Structures are given as structure tokens and as C-alpha cells.
A and B are shown apart, each in its own frame.
Chain A
Amino acid sequence: MRFLTISGPPSSGKTSVILRVIEALQEKDRKIGVVKFDCLLTDDDKLYAKKGVLVKKGLSGALCPDHYFVSNIEACVTWGHANHCEYLISESAGLCNRCSPHIKEITAVCVIDNLSGINTPKKIGPMLKSADIVVITKGDIVSQAEREVFASRVKQVNPGAVIMNVNGITGQGAFELTSLFEDASDIETLKGKTLRFSMPSALCSYCLGETRIGEEYQTGNIRKMEI
């Protein structure tokens, strides 16, 4: 089973890109599974189900979404394998820009859009900087010059990645992206694998449900600004 982690800032077009990739893979009669991670609510699982692919949805609720991701992804891979998926795609949003779901030796994709502003690439951490493939979306509505500048900013922070422009609406570039997915890591289990980068640590009173503001309520891993 080929397994890929796809991540990217909220509303960058991850789901649209994956839907276009699914269409291209289905042309070749591939069996596909998608795991959609989100925080509070998502209806994207219905969009995937409509395409006739296997879907699992995971909502992290009150937990940190990326910690939730990493504690569930192994079981998801086992599920995909047991269901004879030829491709399994996990979709998750990197919400704080410091987290990243990418796993060593597993093909990692980051989706980022031309409208997010030219300083965005440097604001995103390992989710973008350690990805193998960077997909840039929404290129149909900005000028050629802006596309070139944006791509050069992405290249600056991840010069080793393959950078591709994909249009999530028309599907332009999706076929080409899919041809890269054919070379994705082929695995049966995630046992023994490690994350590409550690997740931000947090273990303070607020992690445990504290809501009151003030020095006396702060315990554990706390860091102070210089003021």
C-alpha cells in the first residue's frame, strides 16, 4: 500500500487537490483510502465518500490535533492495509505552523496557496520545510509574476522539494502530481517509524484544563516573553 501524508494550512486547498488526485487514480482503477483529520467539524469525509473511496474521519476535539494525529495514524494505516487499499492518503491541517505530521521514509506533501501571502512560506515550519512535494494551489487567479515570486520563496525554505502547481478546481496539474504519487513509499505498517520532527511540547496547567489567568495558576512547562 502506498501511503502519503498531506498537510497544509487551513483552506489552502488540500481536500480539492486530493479529490482531483483521486479522480486521476480512479482512471487507473486504483483502490483508495483517505483518512481525514480535523479539529471540531468536517464534512469533507462526505465529499470523499461520494467519490467512492474508503474514508475514516478523526476529530481531535479538545486535544492538540497533531498529537491526536500521531497517536492514531498507525491504526489508520493498519485499517487501510486490511481493507486492501492500494493508496492511503492522510489529510491534516497544520494549525500552529510548528507541528508537522510528516514521517521519515513516508512521502510527505504540503499544500500551500498563492493567496496566502509571500511571507507565508517562511512562517510555516517542518510541515513545509521538510516536505518531499510542495503543491501550490490557486495559481489561476494570480499573475504569472506572483506565481514565480511565490514559488521562489517556497524554494528558498525547501530547496530539495519537488514544487508543483495544481489547480484544485480545474484539476490542472493533478494528473502530473498523481504520477509522482506512484513512487510513494510502499508500506504495510508504521511500526518502528519516527516523525520527521518532534512536535511542540506542552505540559502546563492549561493543558490540564486550567482557565484562570495569573502567575499563581501557571505550573509546568511555561515560557515567558521578554517585556
Chain B
Amino acid sequence: MKDTTLFQQPLIETLIDHPYIEDFLTSFGLIVKPGEESLAAYLDSLDPDTLEDLGIAEEQLRQSLDDFLTGMMAMSDPMEKVESLTIIGGHNKSGHPENLELILKPGEIICIVGPTGSGKSRLLADIEWVAQGDTPTKRKILINGQVPDSKWRFSTEYKLVAQLSQNMNFVMDLSADEFIRMHAESRLVTNPEEIVTQILQQANELAGEQFAPDTPVTSLSGGQSRALMIADMAILSKSPIALIDEIENAGIDRKKALDLLVQEEKIILMATHDPILALMGDRRLVIKNGGIDKIIESSQAERKNLVTLEKLDNKLLALRNRIRTGDTLENI
């Protein structure tokens, strides 16, 4: 990469197309004054004593810059589309074979059920690691019917799975719009402002109570946080699989949330024991003793019952709201 014009032309010109080079250099504590000098000349001019103070060796800095540029160039390549994910069964904890080949497609919702310790996490981990018979369950995962490239395991840009669980909180000291903008910038999207507006609007549609763009993310309510996380995951995260560990039943429209992820062509895996969420799924994988014991397709009768369950749920939510607004529940 050393001979490219990127290294030879004035740094000020290089930074127009590759502004992240400046971020790279400053994150090592180096001072950059872009001018007529080329990147190559800049690197040559670095003082060894300064580098020693900053804790970097010149050789390592050059190598890192090369690796960094290679990574950044690869990010602008279009991502391989995941049309299907195949789980080829391994065995359970007693060594009994699972005997299955399960194909998951974008837009599908698959629920994962089973008691704590039954092996739900291992199944999800097998998928995330794109297991090739090299995990304790010996399962194999294929992408688009093929043994996948190892980039799915190790690259931070090509994470197969984006994860959302009830324990997750925002910890950054930023407002909602600043926060999403920062995420968008780290993903190098070309139209960050549009994306920020779109995500905030979606999040507000999912959240029971509206929030303004300048609300600090740490002061969002549980439902608002979850809504923002889901909108962000649907629109900005490139991972083709969304892994969800329950969605609380308050302050967020769960149906709309799942619809949004389905619309964005994600494969949705949801660990849940909530009857409404479970029936929203296309099928349920029942995990027992470390293996997939059974696959239940959501039946017509179950779908019908979903309507009844939703009515019950809405009734409870209405009662909740009455409590919130200071009402009494003598007549329900």
C-alpha cells in the first residue's frame, strides 16, 4: 500500500477522501497539521523520542496504518447478503444426535425456549461463532448453503449477530442524537444526518412515551431505551441476525419492534418464555439437555389464541396506565 497516491499526494488532499486517517494518527497521540506535505513525508519526519514517549514503535505504527487502511477500504465494499443460515445438528450433552438440518431465512422470527442451563446460550454462541463442528455440540453453521468465510468469526465489521438483552443499558454520556450520530460515523455511513433522524423517528414510534433528540441516553426510560436500541439495530447495524433476549412488556410496542426488524430483512432469534412473543414467532426451537429437542411450528389454533392473549395484555397495560396516572383499581 506504500506506493499509492494516498501516501504521496499532499496530506490535505488525502484527508478529503480519507478523513479517518487523521483520527487514526491522533488516536496514537500524534499531532497532525495537514498541509502540502505527503503522508509518507509526515511518517518519515516523526521524531523517535516523541514516538517512544507515546509508546509506539515506528515499524508498528506503519504496520497498523496499513492494516487500518486495508480494513477501511474493505468496509466500503458491499456486504455479502445473507439469504439463508443453515444449522446442521450435532449432539446433546448425552451424545444423542440432533438429526436435523434447519434453514433460517431473513424476515423469519425463531423463538428459542428451554429452562436455564438447557443450552440456549450454547446454540446462540454456535451461530455467532459460525461453528464448524469445533464446539462442544459439534454443530455446523452454513451461510447461503456454504461453509462461510472466516471473516464472520473475527472481523468487527462483519459481525453475524447483533444482540439485545434486558440487562443492557446505555452508559455513554451523550444525547440520543449525538449517540446515534457517533454510531453512524463509526459505520462510515454516507448520510449520517438522515440516518439519525430516521432512527429517532422509528424509536419514538416504538416507544410508549415520546422523547426529544437531545435527551441524554442515560435518562431514557426502560421502554424508550429498548425502542432506541431496536431502531438502531434495525437501521444501522449491519449484522444480518438479530438476537433478542426477551423484550419487556412495558413502554414499548413489541409487535411494531419485531415488524421493524422483519422489514429490515433480519433473521430474528428470540430467547423468550413470554407467550405473546413466542406466538409471534414462526417456530420455536425447544432446547433440552444441550440439544435441539423439538421444533414447533406456530399453528393456526395458536395464532388464534394470540388474539385473545393480546386482548388480555392490553387490558393489563390499561390498568398499568391507570396506576401511573393516579387512578384506583376498584373497578376493573
| A interface list, Cβ under 8 A from B | 27, 98, 100, 114-115, 118, 121-122, 125-126, 129-130, 139-149, 151-160, 162-164, 170, 172-173, 175-176, 179, 196-198
Contact = CB atoms under 8 A, between A and B. Distances in A.
Interface of B: 20, 23-24, 26-29, 52, 54-57, 60, 63-64, 67-68, 70-71, 121, 125, 129, 134-136, 153-154, 156, 159, 162-165, 167-172, 179-180, 182-183, 186-187, 225, 229, 232-233, 236-237
A30 to B, nearest CB: 15
B169 A149 contact: no
A194 to B, nearest CB: 12
Contacts of A27: 136
Given A121-B27, A129-B56, A173-B125, 15 more contacts: A126-B55, A126-B56, A129-B28, A129-B55, A142-B169, A144-B168, A144-B232, A145-B237, A146-B171, A148-B186, A149-B182, A149-B186, A156-B23, A157-B27, A160-B67
A152 B136 CA distance: 30
A115 B154 CA distance: 22
B136 A129 contact: no
Contacts of A164: 154
B55 A158 contact: no
B91 to A, nearest CB: 15
B172 A118 contact: yes
B71 A155 contact: yes
A159 B55 contact: no
Given A122-B29, A143-B168, A172-B121, A159 B179 contact: no
A6 B3 CA distance: 36
Contacts of A146: 170-172
A145 B27 contact: no
Contacts of B168: 140-144
Nearest to B135: A175
Contacts, number: 119
B232 A145 contact: yes
13 contacts: A139-B163, A140-B168, A141-B168, A142-B170, A142-B171, A145-B232, A155-B71, A156-B20, A157-B64, A159-B67, A159-B68, A172-B125, A175-B136
Among A126, A143, A175, max chain B CB count under 10 A is at: A143
Contacts of B55: 98, 100, 125-126, 129, 197
A145 B229 contact: yes
B167 A144 contact: no
A140 B164 CA distance: 9
A144 B237 contact: yes
Contacts of A141: 167-169, 171
A148 B125 contact: no
A152 B167 contact: no
Nearest to A138: B171
Nearest to A136: B156
B183 A148 contact: yes
Nearest to A119: B27
Contact of B163 (A144, A151, A197): A144
A168 B170 CA distance: 20
Contacts of A129: 28, 55-56, 60, 64
A78 B295 CA distance: 53
B167 to A, nearest CB: 5
B233 A144 contact: yes
Given A125-B54, A144-B233, A152 B171 contact: no
A162 B150 CA distance: 12
